[in-house]
Structure 1
Amino acid sequence: MANKRVGKRTVRLQNNPTIISAASVVGPKEGQGPLKDYFNLVLQDDLYGEKSWELAESKMVQTAMQMAVKKADKKLEDVNYLLGGDLINQILPASFAARELGVPFFGIYGACSTMAEGMCLSAMLIDGGFADLILSGTSSHYCTAERQFRFPLELGNQKPMTAQWTVTGAGSVLIAPNEKGPKVRYVTVGKVIDKGIDDGNNMGAAMAPAAIDTIYSYFNDTKDDPNSFDIIATGDLGLLGKQITEDLLKEKGIDISNVYTDCGIEIFDLEEQDVHCGGSGCGCSATVFAGYIYQKLLNKEFNKVMLVSTGALLSPTSTLQKQTIPCVAHAVVIEND
């Protein structure tokens, strides 16, 4: 019997999966934003000494994972499983990083929801007694995402104001049972939601319904109080998607306005940096959580947080075939003791 389930969609972890360390690596633009002091490494250039942007992204996530292990005074040989994925074809950056790290590897794909997806799966594996130490992380890169999903950078295409800027960054967490540090208490796994948006430059509107569905399901399952949270952070809805989420949750009787933000809004200065509606990409929620939110948890400035990473499950093929954009959002609730 599944005795850890709460309601229809939520799982309550009982064996204290603990985030014992986290690490973040970001590009130069992100390193100029308001969270610059929270990142472990700010790159001087987007190529990170590599010959291609894809290899640079792989090196970023590899670096973040190695840093997370080192910060916890562990070795890669101590890690039972590595969970990772990203936006690029066949999750190339994560797979190539796993090749170098030499840890048993679960390649996962949830588009920009991958950070929370990996944390959910890692926490459940730890809670079930299947591992003692799991490394999870993800990445994105402005140049790799533009090349794959939109237009070559050399064309200099203009973007509509609903568009967002893919974060160049990688974040990683290391999770173990019954340790000191912030604990994963609940996970709520998202459904794939598609409300008919087909504009790849309006991801906030496309992903907001998935975030609404997951957040509402958590509160419906647990009867928790939104105001008991220090922060509820969606992954990369940007200004437009955040407003849609907040407004429609209110219509459903869930008011998160006092504690709600979006990682895509936090990572950039929207007035000073030309990012339109904000940041996006797997690396958006990954770096904001592994840098800013995790440090606030360690300092006890935050004691209860919900991370809801949001992902648009489109591909170049689906776009060319004029399909609408299915989306998903996964929620992970983390608390201090």
Structure 2
Amino acid sequence: MGKHIGKQSAIFDKDIFIINTASTVGKKEGEGPLKDYFDVILEDSLCGEDSWEKAESKMVNENMKLVMQKEKLQFSDIDYIYAGDLLNQSSGSNYAIRDLNVPFFGIFGACSTIGEGMALGAINIESGVGRKILVGASSHFCAAEKQFRFPLGLGTQRPLTSTWTVTGAAALILSDTGKSIKIKGITTGKIVDLGIKDANNMGSAMAPAAADVIINNLKDFNIQPDYYDMIFTGDLGYVGKQLTIELVQKAGYDISKNYTDCGIEIFDKNTQDTHSGGSGCACAGTTFAGMIYDKLKKGELNRILFIPTGALMSPTSIQQGESIAGIAHGIIIER
């Protein structure tokens, strides 16, 4: 069996493969720098439905079916599904999965959800309980803006620190048999809250949690940042990325040479007016399922630390003036 390492990490003894992925994104995401990596680019963000929320569920359902088709599997082959989103009580995932007839763990880690699902799925396989696990995460710009900030019809001006919630769905299949791309270990994040209360500055709220995971991963495994070909955080954007570099630097590690953020990679801020970059469960999810997984398959990357990040807020907590707690989960992936 795997073993606990250091303060927050674990290493797995079993081979836990990521055998396939699927990514579906909206029109704006499909116009960005990663457009060639996505499986499906939607022209209609409503997906033919009459609400943003129904559109997200449809997107999740069809994207999960797509990854199963790519791997030539039936849903009866899947032991468990781990999935979540940003909507109240994870309704985007719940309604997407209700007809699939697969045991289901609904999870919530805000924008870190894909990482949480990968970690829990890997632990499931390591324990011997499951052999094939389906992991998913999604978000929708219009639904998220309505829930957490302002209805789109108000035309509210967004500050430069704000990020753009990615419209998309990501899915991946974990298996105890496969070919080359493995989850070797994890570093589980702690909730870190430095008192940020601005829902339009989530990069600053999440950066301390991301830095904590990076620092503890390096300490737990007694390694330096260049052990990894790349370190990817999830949803910090330009503001959060710079803050993460500075916080990790204070701990004595320089990650500036091999570190980027999915929220920076998925949009072109100069041509797409996304301000600080991208966020949402689908930001890290679709970037991994698209670009990162492709580079791992091609051998352009061989060892990475993937750290989706989440802002653990709710509409109620924001309205009551509560600060935004940050979370991040680190996944060590090797080819």
TM range (shorter): over 0.9
Alpha-carbon shift at residue 193 of structure 1 (Å): 0.7
Q: How is 1:136-285 mapped onto 2 (pairs within 5 angstroms)? A: 136-285=135-284
Letter in 2 for 1:237: L
Letter in 2 for 1:267: I
Letter in 1 for 2:260: T
Aligned to 2:3: 4
Aligned to 1:122: 121
Moved over 3 A (4+): none
Q: Distance in 2 between matches of 1:89 and 1:175?
A: 27
Aligned to 1:38: 37
The question of whether the paired residues in 2 share the 8 Å contact of 1:4 and 1:12 is answered with yes
Q: Distance in 2 between matches of 1:3 and 1:317?
A: 39
Letter in 1 for 2:28: K
Letter in 2 for 1:155: L
Letter in 1 for 2:205: A
Q: Distance in 2 between matches of 1:313 and 1:259?
A: 27
Q: Return closer, same or farther for 1:323/1:176 CA change in 2, 3 Å cut-off.
A: same
Q: Distance in 2 between matches of 1:63 and 1:122?
A: 21
**TM-score for both structures, normalised by structure 2:** 0.98
Unaligned runs of 5+ in 1: none
Q: Distance in 2 between matches of 1:29 and 1:100?
A: 30
Q: Distance in 1 between matches of 2:2 and 2:47?
A: 47
Aligned to 1:301: 300
Q: Deviations over 1:19-50 (max 9, x none)?
A: 00000000000000000000000001110111
Aligned to 1:310: 309
SS of the residue aligned with 1:69? helix
Aligned to 2:324: 325
Letter in 1 for 2:247: L
Q: How is 1:19-30 mapped onto 2 (pairs within 5 angstroms)? A: 19-30=18-29
Alpha-carbon shift at residue 228 of structure 1 (Å): 2.3
SS of the residue aligned with 1:100? coil
Unaligned runs of 5+ in 2: none
SS of the residue aligned with 2:231? strand
SS of the residue aligned with 2:111? helix
Q: Distance in 2 between matches of 1:62 and 1:198?
A: 34
Letter in 2 for 1:295: D
Aligned to 2:107: 108
SS of the residue aligned with 2:23? strand
SS of the residue aligned with 1:271? helix
Aligned to 2:92: 93
Q: Distance in 2 between matches of 1:99 and 1:234?
A: 31
Identity %: 51
Q: Deviations over 1:91-136 (max 9, x none)?
A: 0010011102221100000000101000000011011111010000
Q: Distance in 2 between matches of 1:277 and 1:258?
A: 20
**TM-score for both structures, normalised by structure 1:** 0.98
CA RMSD of aligned residues (A): 0.9
Alpha-carbon shift at residue 231 of structure 1 (Å): 1.3
Alpha-carbon shift at residue 210 of structure 1 (Å): 0.4
SS of the residue aligned with 2:20? strand
Q: Deviations over 1:154-185 (max 9, x none)?
A: 00000110001000011011000132130001
The question of whether the paired residues in 1 share the 8 Å contact of 2:133 and 2:174 is answered with yes
SS of the residue aligned with 1:50? coil
Alpha-carbon shift at residue 229 of structure 1 (Å): 1.4
Alpha-carbon shift at residue 88 of structure 1 (Å): 0.3
Q: Distance in 1 between matches of 2:107 and 2:160?
A: 31
The question of whether the paired residues in 1 share the 8 Å contact of 2:2 and 2:11 is answered with no
Q: Distance in 2 between matches of 1:141 and 1:181?
A: 32
Letter in 1 for 2:324: I
SS of the residue aligned with 1:111? coil
Letter in 2 for 1:245: T
The question of whether the paired residues in 2 share the 8 Å contact of 1:15 and 1:178 is answered with no
Alpha-carbon shift at residue 223 of structure 1 (Å): 1.1
SS of the residue aligned with 2:329? strand
Alpha-carbon shift at residue 70 of structure 1 (Å): 1.4
Alpha-carbon shift at residue 3 of structure 1 (Å): 5.6
Work out whether 1:83 is the aligned partner of 2:88. Answer: no
Alpha-carbon shift at residue 297 of structure 1 (Å): 0.5
The question of whether the paired residues in 1 share the 8 Å contact of 2:160 and 2:275 is answered with yes
Letter in 2 for 1:166: T
Q: Distance in 2 between matches of 1:208 and 1:164?
A: 14
Q: Distance in 2 between matches of 1:224 and 1:16?
A: 22
